[in-house]
Chain A
Amino acid sequence: MTSSLAPFVIFYLGAMLVAVSRGRVRQVLMLMTPLVGAWNLYILPGDTVITYHMFNYTLTLFQTDRLSLLFGYLFHLAAFLGAIYAIHVKTTSETTSGMLYAGSALGAVFAGDLLTLFIFWELLAITSIFLIVARRTERANQAAMRYIIVQVLSGVILLAGVLMRLHDTGSLAFTHIGLDGSLASLLIFLAFGIKCAFPLLHNWLTDAYPEATPSGTVFLSAFTTKVAVYALARGYAGTEILVYIGAAMAMFPIFYATIENDLRRVLSYSMINQIGFMVVGIGLGTELAINGAISHAFNDVIFKALLLMSMGAVLHRTGKINGSELGGLYKSMPWTTVFCIIGAASISAVPLFSGFVSKSMVMAAALEEGHGWVWLLLLFASAGVMEHAGIKIPFFAFFAHDSGIRCKEAPTNMLIAMGLAAAICIFNGAYPWLLYSMLPFPVDYSPFTAPHVVTQMQLLLFSALAFTILKLTHVYPPELPGINIDAEWSYRMGLPRAIRGIKAVFGPIDRGLRTAGMNLIHSTIGTVVRHHGPGGTMARTTLVGSMVQWVIILLGVYLVLYLIGPA
C-alpha cells in the first residue's frame, strides 16, 4: 500500500476536525493525527514528488531525501508527545493551532522549492502565535505581537531573497545556496538566521516562548528553530562563518541562563545554546559534523521538550515558574522530578543519555577541522549546559530550600508524555545506532570509547563539584526576582526612547512652524475679512442715488479739466 498525500495535509485536516469536535472525540483525534501522519510518511514511496502550479511556475510541494525524512519523523514524534501532554487542554484555538503549527513545520521540511518553503515559513509564524496568546495575559499578548512582527519580517526577507535569486539564477530549487556574495544569498541567510536565533536576532525566542501556555511552549520549542536548522543544513552547509556564529550562540546564553529567574526562560536561552552546537556542525560541513548537528537536533527536540514539559507541569500545578519562588517540589512531584533529571542528564550529555552521543560528534569534528579555539569554547559551553540545565533547573525547582509549596503530582497525561520522552532520551543515549542509521551520511563514529566516557564524566563531575563548593561558600548567586536586559532592549526600550528623543528635539520646531503657518493663515483671513467681510470697504453697499452723485461729480471734474486744459 502506498500513499501520495503530503504529510502536512493530514495535520491540517486533523486540525479542522479537532476544531469542530469536543471531549473524547477531540482527544482521540489529537492523538491519532500524528500517528496517522507517521504511517502515511512511512508508506510514501521515497521517490514521490508532488507538484503544483502557481503563476507560470511548477512548484514542488513534497520531495524527500534522508535529511528531510529524519526531520519529518522527528516532527511527528514531537507532535505526538505534545498532543499527549496537551490532551487536557480545552481551549480550541490552542489545540487547533498546535496541530496546524506541526503541519506547517512538516510542509517546510518537505518543500522542494524556495517559494513553497516561504509559504510554510510564514504559516509557521501565523499558526504558532495562538499558542502564546492562549496564555491570556497582557504580557503574553504583547510578547506575541513582538513575536509575530519578527517572524513575519523573517518571511518577508526570505521572500525578497528568493525572488532575487529567481531573477539571478532562474531557479527556485531549494538546494545548496551558500554565501556566494550575492544579495539574494545573504538575505536568505539572514531570514534563516532570524528563525535560528542568531546572536542579536535571538530575543523573539527568549521573549515569547516563556510567555506561552505550558503545552504551547512544548510545541513551540520543537518546530520553528529546528526548521531553521534544517534549512541552514540544506542551504548553507560548510559556510565557515556559521562556525563562529554557532560558537557565539553556544557561549553567550549560558551567562544569561545562569542569572535568569524564570525557569522556562532559562530553558529558552538553553535552546539557543544547543542550537549553537548544531550551527557549528553545519558550518564545519564535514560528514561527521553534519551527522552530529542533525542527530543533536533530533535529541534536542526530545530532551528540551522533556525539560519544558517538567517546568510546564510545575507551572500548571503551582502557578509559579520563578526559581526564587520554587524549591522542594520533589516532595510533591516525585515523578516529575525524576523525568526532569533525566532531561537534565540528557542535555548535559551524561554518558548513556542522548546528548552524549550527538553533541560529541560536532566537537570531534571541530577538532578534526583544526578549530581548536572553537572546540575550547564548546567545551566551556558544555560546562555551562551542566550549570544552567543540568543543575540549576532541577535544583531550584525541586530541591534547594523548601518553598513550602505542597501540590499534586503532574496530571497523568503529562506524566505519560514526560515518561515517553525520558524513555527516548535513554534509548538514544544507550543505543544510538538506530538514530545513527537515519542520519544523512553513513556513521563511522563510536561514542562509547573509554577515553570519551571518562573525560566527559570528568568535565561534568568537576562542574558539579564547582557548583557544590560555590553553593556551600555562598558565592553562587541566589535566584532573584528581576529581568535581565538583552539585545531586545534596542526595540523594547531604545527605539521608543529614540522616538521620544526625536519628538523632544523636533517637537518644538514642528510646533513653531505650525504656529507660524497658522498665524499666517489667520492674518490672511483677517485681511480678507477686513476688506471683503461685512462692513469691509470692498463689500460696502451704496445707494443708486449716491452712485449717480459720483458720476455727476466725475463728469463735472472731467468738464473742468476739459475747459482749463490746453486747447
Chain B
Amino acid sequence: MARAAAPPLDVDRLIDDRRTRIIVCCGSGGVGKTTVAAAVGLRAAERGRHVVVLTVDPARRLAQSMGLSSLDNTPRLVAGVAAAGHPRAAAETGEYEVNRGGSLHAMMLDMKRTFDEIVEAHADPDRAAQILANPFYQSLSSGFSGTQEYMAMEKLGQLRRADDWDLIVVDTPPSRSALDFLDAPQRLGRFLDGKLLRLLTAPAKLGGRAYLRVLNIGFGVVTGALTKILGGQLLKDAQTFVTALDTMFGGFRERAEYTYQLLRAPGTSFLVIAAPEPDALREASYFVERLAVERMPLAGLILNRVHRSPAARLSAARSLAAAESLQPADGQNGDEPDAAAQPGQAPYTLAIAALRLHAERMQLVASERRLAGRFSTAHPLVPVAEVPAQAEDVHDLAGLRAIGESFPAS
C-alpha cells in the first residue's frame, strides 16, 4: 500500500544555517520534548553554534547531566561539549580534541523570578514592593497555568535581545496541550488588559460606571456579587493589585506583542515533537495547522521513540505462524506459551519466544508506521525526522549526543 512518504527533515541543515536564531520545540506532554530540545542544542553546539537551551521543568537526571542542579534562571555553561563530539572530524584533522568554537549553555526557567523582574523593571521601587507583596500578584506569578508559558516567552525575548548566543533552543512548558504555549501568553495579556480590571478600578472612576450602564446592570449588583464570591478583603486586595499594576499595562502588552512577533520573524523555526502514538500525533496535527494559520515557520516533525527491528523482513504474520508451527501439539492453540514451556520438554522454547517477541515488535512497528503515515497523508509537506526508541532513559551528554546522531543525515 502506498503510504505518503514524508520528506526527510534535515536537522543539521537547520542548525548549521546561521540565520536560524531561535528553535522552538513544542508538542504535548510525555513525548520527550525536553530531551529532544537538549539533543538539538547539544548537536548545534558541537557543530559550532553558540547555543542556549531554555528548558522548563526538566527531568532531574537530565538536568544533572547538563550540569544544572538548581533553578536559578541564569544560563549555565554545560561542560563536556564538543570535546568528544566529533570523533570523525578528530580523526580527519589528527587532533584529538576538536573544538569548532561552539558552546552550550542551559537554563531552567524560574517563572516567579522572571515575573518579579518585569515588575521591578517597570515600576518604581516603592510600587514594585507593593505589587510583589500583594497576595493576588503572588498567586498569579507562581500559580496561574498560563504564567509559565508567558514567562517562557518573556525569557525568550530577553535572551534574544541580549544577543549573547547565536542560537536559542526553547523547550516549551509541559502543558496539557501544545497549543497552550501560543494561547496562554495572549490570554494573560488580555486578562491584564481586560475590561474587568478596568471595572475593578472603577469605584473611583466614572468610566466604569458608564460601562456598566451600557451593559444595563446596576453597579451594586456587580460589586455585591463580587463581594459575595470573593469576600470584601479579597476584593480590596484585587483592587489594590490592579491599581498598582495600572501603570504597567502598556509594558505588558508591548512585551507580549514583541515576543509574539519574534515567533513570526525570520530566523525562528518550530520543531513539533511527537511520539508515534495517537494522542501525541493528534496534538502534533493541531499544532501544525495552527502554525500555518499564524504564519509561523514550521521546520518539521520529530517523531521520537520510533521502534525498529533488525529483522524487518520477517513479518508479524509469518513470525507468528512460524512460532505456532513449532508449538507442541498439546500446547492448546498456542495462547499460553508459559504454560507449555516446561523446561527440557518443549524443544524450541527459545525460538518460539523469539518469534513471538518479534511478531509483537513487528505489530508495534506496523502500528507506528500507520500512525506516522496518517500524519503525513494529512500533512504531506511537513518534513519528518525519526528518532529511534532508546533502550534506556537518556541521562547524560552521550545519550543526548546519540539522539542527535540519529537525525537523518543530509
Report if A and B associate in a common complex.
no
